Structure 1
Amino acid sequence: METERNETDRRRKRSQLLLKQAFEELMREKGFTAMTIQNITDRADVHRGTFYAHFPDKFALLEHSIRDKFHTVLGREMPPDTDWDPDHLRVLVRTVLEHVRLLYGRCSPVDTFNPLFERSIRDELAALLKHWFEQLRADQADWAVHVDTMALMTSWAIFGAAVQWSKSNENISVDEMTDRVLAVLAEGAGRIA
């Protein structure tokens, strides 16, 4: 029984890998809009049913691809079990800034792509921040703001700054922008009030 389950898991992983590889190749060759599920399954040499066993549509595969790419980029800069630390936050902010600028510089705006990209990155960012904040909260029980709210607001602040910076014509270095984002996160509106 266990052997059959392991074999099924290996087949699922292999099929998913083939689909993702085919998708990435077709993205480079045709672009997202022109590619069809049939193109993906033909390139991966799997049946359409196999595709639908993994993804409901090509948008779900795109979202999965975006999230995988973001995890890969973060993994190069930080180990996956990284916990809260000001230095880790600096690396996270810088990584998001660079990743967003690279993608916005490479992709022309597509109404269906940008919202999916933005939501995927923000969600992944919020999940990581929530994990960090939950670890901190275990040590400090007197927080007035819920962890989910803090993670969501912080992810929007980081990602929003990255989007604006990537689209800006100002000549602000990634280090300077990282410092600005960290200053806002650390000081917030407290000094203004």
Structure 2
Amino acid sequence: MVNQQDPRVLRTRQLIREAFRELLRSKGFDSITINDIAQRATINRATFYAHYVDKYALLEEITEQTFREMIPNEVMDALELTDEICDQLILLTHLYIIDFYQICRIDSKSMATIVDEKIKKMLQQTIVSILLRGGNFYRADHYHTEIISAMTGSAIYGATLHWLTVGKIDRTDLLLNIVRPYVMNGLKLYPNDSSQ
């Protein structure tokens, strides 16, 4: 078992992640092998496997780490899902999708599925945290909050992904004007009274 706090371990994991990112820019996910990653990172295959089970686990970690780094502090510390916080969630999802789908070559259905599901899950977790942190909003029923957060996160992700595919990447003002009212009006439909 490797010590995750050891500077050498941290450095090796960083080398692996960088090598993988470089390969994603030049090669399709399905054609990337562990040997490719190990060679690019200047490590051996056994070292790779000491850190990651496979390239799918590596992809999940990179997806999560990159998305978390993009979340602004004011979103992380928000006490309620306001129009401004909603806008920030939409914009960061938009930026993430552009980065991943344009800079990295997502030509693999398995890769796209992993990235899509991971980002939707992280949006859901971020929204759950905001809703539970502020006041009594849905505090009485955590399951209810998770469902609402899953729907909200999926709406944001689906709209921003579609926005990329229809080629309106540079018109984030239109994206915000379409998605924000949908999300915010949807949230108003659900009671936040703990007695219900």
Task: With the length of structure 2 as denominator, give the TM-score of the two structures.
Answer: 0.78
- Distance across 2 between alignment mates of 1:144 and 1:153: 14
Aligned positions of 1:178-193 closer than 5 A: 178-188=176-186
Aligned positions of 1:85-96 closer than 5 A: 85-86=81-82, 87-96=84-93
Higher relative contact order (CA 8 A, sep 6+): 2
- Distance across 2 between alignment mates of 1:144 and 1:175: 33
Equivalent residue, structure 1, for 2:144: 146
Are the equivalent residues in 1 in contact too, given 2:38–2:45 (CA < 8 A)? yes
How far residue 183 of structure 1 moved from its aligned partner, in angstroms, is 0.5
> The residue matched to 1:24 in structure 2 has which SS?
helix
- Distance across 2 between alignment mates of 1:30 and 1:171: 24
- Distance across 2 between alignment mates of 1:108 and 1:46: 25
- Distance across 2 between alignment mates of 1:144 and 1:23: 37
1:82 aligns with 2:80: no
Runs of 4+ more than 4 Å apart: 137-145, 169-172
**One-letter code aligned to 1:55:** Y
Equivalent residue, structure 1, for 2:163: 165
* Structure 1 residues 37 and 189, CA gap change in structure 2 (3 angstroms): closer
Number of aligned residues: 183
Structure 1 residues not aligned, in runs of 5+: none
* Structure 1 residues 145 and 89, CA gap change in structure 2 (3 angstroms): same
Task: With the length of structure 1 as denominator, give the TM-score of the two structures.
Answer: 0.79
How far residue 156 of structure 1 moved from its aligned partner, in angstroms, is 0.7
Equivalent residue, structure 1, for 2:36: 39
Question: Percentage identity across aligned positions?
Answer: 25
Are the equivalent residues in 1 in contact too, given 2:30–2:108 (CA < 8 A)? no
> The residue matched to 1:33 in structure 2 has which SS?
helix
How far residue 99 of structure 1 moved from its aligned partner, in angstroms, is 2.6
Equivalent residue, structure 2, for 1:132: 130
- Distance across 2 between alignment mates of 1:190 and 1:85: 11
Are the equivalent residues in 2 in contact too, given 1:105–1:166 (CA < 8 A)? no
RMSD: 2.9
> The residue matched to 2:31 in structure 1 has which SS?
coil
- Distance across 2 between alignment mates of 1:160 and 1:127: 16
Deviations, residues 153-189 of structure 1 (Å, cap 9, x unaligned): 1111111111222212569821121121110112129
